[in-house]
Amino acid sequence: MVQPGRPADLLDRFLGSLLGMAIGDALGMPVAGLSSDAIAARYGWLDRFLPLLAEDGTIEVPAGTFTEDTELALCLVESTIGQNGYLDVTAAGYRFVRLLEGPGSRFLDEPTKRALASAREHGDFQRGIAGPETATGSAAARAAPIGLLHALCRFNPELFVRDVLRATLITHAELEVVNGALAVAYAVLLLTQGATPPDVLSDEVARFIDEDAVARRLRTVASLALPADPHEVARYLATLGASARVDEVVATALAAFAAAPDDFLRAVSIAVNAGGATDTRGAITGALAGAALGAGALPPALLDGLEGRPYLEMAARALFHAAQQRAGRFLRLLAR
């Protein structure tokens, strides 16, 4: 593994990943659940923020609003700040529950809602629920900051896996979901450090995680020759699996990034226009592309239209300092 780059470059990647996650999430928010064909018929090629509309045409959620995928990732970020870069699952869990009780709960999938409702009663945030019906991709999307948190340290696989597991078990105890979260976090780590070319990223991730449906689908996607035209790539990914299942959403998100590794907007647009789990796939693809390219590659128009941008920027900088503290690179001195 190569040595991490200069601090300024790494901070730019932290900013790019968190902001990129939110942008991809917000792009996919208004069309989540629609098929690729339905999105094309209604909007053409979706590469701009749109509001979520009610059946009567009124605005239910403003354009540029991200969903629980980014909200829960931010809860994990907040739980590491002030803890010298170490994850506080209890603090994160209580933040998750507050989201359950607020307007953002509309975006939570059913397994996450059930897990948090149960945790609210028993107070144990390491008793996530399991079962085939719980194998959704939301926990995988929120694992992206774990990859950032470990990007400045000498890589310790045991500690890395432990953090991903603890972050996932807040809501999900299904092993396939843990593996999907591990795949996303590891991919973000590799891209942040500039350690792996995008064209072999899926292979590298599949080698690191356990052998299950996530790894098998990653290998399938990695072996495919994707078309050059982004519209064709989006339609192709839709045929590979556009549901919210963790294996499908993780594999297609990595494929969307691999199809346009040097163009943030093209990558996240492919992810969103594939249909299905557009917000989760968009969030993961945005986190990957932002980590690889940095904040400077994010489209200014989308940055300007992103709800909560100032807070996201502050959170990314604070996460960077927390990662420096964890790696022993950052000493906060008291002024007298």
Q: Which residues fall in the annotated binding site for Mg(2+)? A: 67, 69, 279-280
Query: How far, in whole angstroms, is CA 32 from its chain's centroid?
Result: 15
- DSSP state letter for 131: S
307: tokens are: 């709800």
The region that residue 84 occupies, defined by phi over 0 for left and psi between -120 and 50 for alpha, beta otherwise, is left
Strands 59-61 and 52-53 turn out to be antiparallel
CA atoms within 13 A on the CB side of 64: 11
Annotated binding site: 67, 69, 279-280
Give Rg (Cα) of the chain: 18
Query: How far, in whole angstroms, is CA 18 from its chain's centroid?
Result: 8
Report the SS3 class of residue 34.
Answer: coil
CA–CA gap between residue 336 and residue 321 (Å, rounded): 22
Contact of 331 with 21, CB cutoff 8 Å: no
Contact of 213 with 21, CB cutoff 8 Å: no
Long-range CB contacts (within 8 A, 24+) of 233-241: 233/259, 233/270, 234/36, 234/269, 234/270, 234/273, 234/274, 234/275, 235/36, 235/274, 237/270, 237/271, 237/274, 238/35, 238/36, 238/274, 238/275, 238/276, 241/217
261: tokens are: 């590794």
Phi, psi for 332 (deg, rounded to 5): -90, 115
CA–CA gap between residue 34 and residue 273 (Å, rounded): 9
